[in-house]
Amino acid sequence: MVKATDRDVARLIAQRQREALRYSAPAPLEGTAAEPQPPPAAYDPVPSPLSTEMPAGFEVAPGGGGAATQPTAPAPASSAPSSARSQPVATRFRQRVFTLTDALAYAQRHRREYQTAKEDLYLAALALTLERHLWTPQFAAELRQVYGNFGEITDFDQATRLVADLSVSQRLPYGGEFTAAAVSTLIRDVKRSITASEGSTLTLGLEIPFLRGAGHVAREDLIELERALTYAVRSFERFRRQQLVEVAQRYFALLAAKQRVLDVAQSLKRAQRDYERAQAFQEQGMGTPLDTGRAEAQYLARQNALASQREAFRAATDQFKIFIGMPIAEPLGLDDLDTIESIEQAVAAGDYPLLLRPPAAGDVERATEVAVRYRLDLLNRRDQIDDAKRGVAIAKNALLPDLDWTASLSFDTDPEHYKLGAFEFARATWRSELILAMNDRFQERTRYRASLIDLRRAQRAYNEQLERIRAQVLSAVNQIRLQDQVVEIQRRNVEVNFKQAEFARFQFEDGLIDNQALIDAENLYISALNDLNQAKTDRWSFLLEFRLATGTLRVDEDGRQYDEPALYETAPPAAELPAPTAASSPARLP
């Protein structure tokens, strides 16, 4: 039963994704209330091909492929206590590092907020399947048996009655309902085995509204849920794209923290050598206790800095694990993560296409045009204007008087002849009724006035969202331009400080400067390295922010990004253009 429901919901979601997004982004719901799933297992570092078998009704989105790692739950030892078995078994990343691609895939499989977003989408589709079912013929059947003991007063003191009731009802597209019901009754005397009564009744009924409740208003519940599913599909896809950006930004921040640890560790080694050299110089009479003290203070400061950076990295790692849904006990250290340099190489090789400069990154007008075309939240705001207009029409319809027509046609059998199916058309009864009613409409008038205000609010919300998107695109373009300059400046800064540090070291070894000047040069070089790494990760983050702001970020079924250059075409296919909406024309209030 649950699997059949999941298949229906999956097909409905995939169909709506193709209609609303022009592609299908599967969102299978793992686990049900009847089949609870175990907690996420530890990450398996051994690469394995991604299974191509998807649940029925889902399609693989374009841009997928490749290999990914999958979580596995190592089997606990049989001698372990039950409490230990319930805990995830940690594994160590030895065969490969935990790359950005792995982090994105892991977050899409295990992040708790992502699971909640999938459930919200599932519930929206589930509600629509129920409403669609209610607009199909509704059959009902009932079979009753009644036994009675009437004593010696009547002719048959013990009797049983069988009643079979079968009915079907169908909602009409423009209001009203058609019903058909058949009732058959059989009464037998138990003691004498004589049929005391036998008969059937067939009734056909029709109810049609002509004014209030007539027209498209009758299907408002269905229309509302249909559009709610479209909004849910867009919101879920928007959530997936935002998740990619957030996971990538947190991963970049983690790499920057890792690089700071490595840089401080290298600085500590140099500080140790300098301290040992200063001690040797002092013993040989070539140095002073002041130089040795400075070198020792620098050495101790570097030890403290390394401990602080390691703890900061550990805390950042724990927060990153919580964000992507990874158990805290899962080891994730310096050696298990990628490096900024390797990501740069992967970007140059085309492994991360969304970290490259997009075609419209330097053209604000073109980027804004793309954003207005593809931003899913803006499309939702636009369609909500139509919802508000429909709400005005519904509220206006409620002001009309009630004018309903009901008709019924019934047939029954001759009570003198015991035959359940012998209907006599001569005994048919036909009835027709036309009712006109006009009750107080003060409440409906108030709702109509409120619906006009809701329309103006929807139009203002659309315009505000449009302006926000323009501001976001402008900011993203400017940030990319600025960050390009920052990266180049920091590259030059690293080169300059590296030469200064090397020259200072030569001078220190020749005895031309004291160790304080060397320490200052080393600190400037380390600071320049940190600034360059931060500039690189910031530029990648701003590139992703630009694609998110323009609505051109694409995520496959494993949470990985892929590129579609056709999104930046100035003349997209007509099928992808949103329908025009008069959002800028305010509704006049009476």
51 band by pLDDT with thresholds 50, 70 and 90: very low
- How far is residue 526's CA from residue 501's CA, in Å, rounded to a whole number? 10
- How far is residue 241's CA from residue 554's CA, in Å, rounded to a whole number? 7
278 band by pLDDT with thresholds 50, 70 and 90: confident
pLDDT of residue 23: 66
Higher-pLDDT residue of 151 and 518 is 518
Q: Is the pLDDT of residue 402 over 90?
A: yes
Are the C-beta atoms of residues 403 and 509 closer than 8 Å to each other? no
Give the DSSP per-residue string, 408-453.
Answer: EEEEEB-TTS--TT-B-GGG-EEEEEEEEE----HHHHHHHHHHHH
Q: What is the pLDDT of residues 487-497, one digit of tens each?
A: 999 999 999 99
- Whole-Å CA distances, 509 to 36, 375, 413, 443, 515: 68, 61, 119, 92, 10
288 band by pLDDT with thresholds 50, 70 and 90: confident
Q: What is the pLDDT of residues 106-145, one digit of tens each?
A: 998 999 999 999 999 999 999 999 999 999 999 999 998 8
Q: Are strands 554-555 and 429-437 parallel, antiparallel or unpaired?
A: unpaired
Are the C-beta atoms of residues 558 and 108 closer than 8 Å to each other? yes
pLDDT of residue 186: 80
pLDDT-above-90 percentage for the chain: 46
Nearest to 475 by CA among 531, 549, 533, 538: 549
- pTM, rounded to two decimals: 0.78
pLDDT of residue 411: 86
Mean pLDDT of the 332-353 span: 86
- How far is residue 418's CA from residue 143's CA, in Å, rounded to a whole number? 19
Q: Exposed, middle or buried by CB within 10 Å (0-12, 13-18, 19+), for 332? A: buried
Q: Is the pLDDT of residue 309 over 80?
A: yes
138, amino acid identity: Q
Q: Token pair for residue 555?
A: 């995520």
Q: Is the pLDDT of residue 70 over 70?
A: no
DSSP 79: T
Are the C-beta atoms of residues 313 and 257 closer than 8 Å to each other? yes
Length of the chain: 590
Q: Is the pLDDT of residue 242 over 90?
A: yes
Higher-pLDDT residue of 42 and 181 is 181
Specify the 3-state DSSP secondary structure of 559. coil
Higher-pLDDT residue of 231 and 196 is 231
152 band by pLDDT with thresholds 50, 70 and 90: low
Mean pLDDT of the 470-481 span: 93
DSSP 98: B
Relative orientation angle of helices 100-110 and 220-283, to the nearest 10 degrees = 140
CA atoms within 13 A on the CB side of 408: 11
Helix (H) or strand (E) holding 407: strand 402-412
308 band by pLDDT with thresholds 50, 70 and 90: very high
Strand partners, 295: none
What is the chain's mean pLDDT, rounded?
A: 80
Radius of gyration of the chain measured on its C-alpha atoms? 37
Lowest mean pLDDT among 83-97, 176-190, 428-442, 573-587: 573-587
Mean pLDDT of the 194-204 span: 78
Which letter, b or e, does each residue of 217-241 get, where b requires 16 or more Cβ atoms within 10 Å of its Cβ?
A: bbbbebbbbebebbbbbbbbbbbbb
- How far is residue 350's CA from residue 561's CA, in Å, rounded to a whole number? 12
CB atoms within 10 A of CB 436: 10
Mean pLDDT of the 527-553 span: 90
CA dihedral (144, 147, 153, 155) positive or negative: positive
Q: Exposed, middle or buried by CB within 10 Å (0-12, 13-18, 19+), for 437? A: exposed
pLDDT of residue 331: 87
Four-point Cα dihedral 168, 173, 177, 179, nearest 10 = -30
CB atoms within 10 A of CB 17: 25
Are the C-beta atoms of residues 17 and 68 closer than 8 Å to each other? no
Q: What angle do CA 32, 33, 38 make, to 5 degrees?
A: 70
Mean pLDDT of the 172-190 span: 87
Q: What is the pLDDT of residues 547-576, one digit of tens each?
A: 999 998 888 776 667 766 666 665 444 334
320 band by pLDDT with thresholds 50, 70 and 90: very high
pLDDT of residue 38: 38
pLDDT of residue 432: 94
Q: Token pair for residue 546?
A: 């630009």
Mean pLDDT of the 399-408 span: 94
DSSP 31: -
Q: Is the pLDDT of residue 156 over 80?
A: no
pLDDT of residue 253: 92
Q: Exposed, middle or buried by CB within 10 Å (0-12, 13-18, 19+), for 258? A: buried
- How far is residue 205's CA from residue 178's CA, in Å, rounded to a whole number? 6
Give the DSSP per-residue string, 315-384.
Answer: HHHHHHHHHHT--TTS---GGGB--HHHHHHHHHHTS-GGGSPPTTTT-HHHHHHHHHHH-HHHHHHHHH
pLDDT of residue 61: 33
Q: Is the pLDDT of residue 507 over 80?
A: yes
Lowest mean pLDDT among 52-61, 237-246, 285-294, 366-375: 52-61
Q: What ranges in 40-111 are assigned the alpha helix state H?
A: 82-85, 100-110
Are the C-beta atoms of residues 561 and 554 closer than 8 Å to each other? yes
Q: What is the pLDDT of residues 353-370, one digit of tens each?
A: 878 888 888 889 999 999
Return the top range by mean pLDDT from 47-51, 244-248, 338-342, 348-352: 244-248
CB atoms within 10 A of CB 187: 18
Q: Is the pLDDT of residue 414 over 90?
A: no
Nearest to 400 by CA among 455, 456, 448: 448
pLDDT of residue 559: 64
- Whole-Å CA distances, 493 to 302, 350, 517, 542: 22, 28, 18, 22
Mean pLDDT of the 475-498 span: 92
CB atoms within 10 A of CB 522: 23
Relative orientation angle of helices 220-283 and 112-134, to the nearest 10 degrees = 170
335 band by pLDDT with thresholds 50, 70 and 90: confident
Nearest to 246 by CA among 548, 562, 550, 552: 548
Mean pLDDT of the 154-165 span: 73
Among left, alpha and beta (phi > 0; psi -120 to 50; other), residue 278 is alpha
- Whole-Å CA distances, 259 to 310, 339, 340: 11, 8, 8
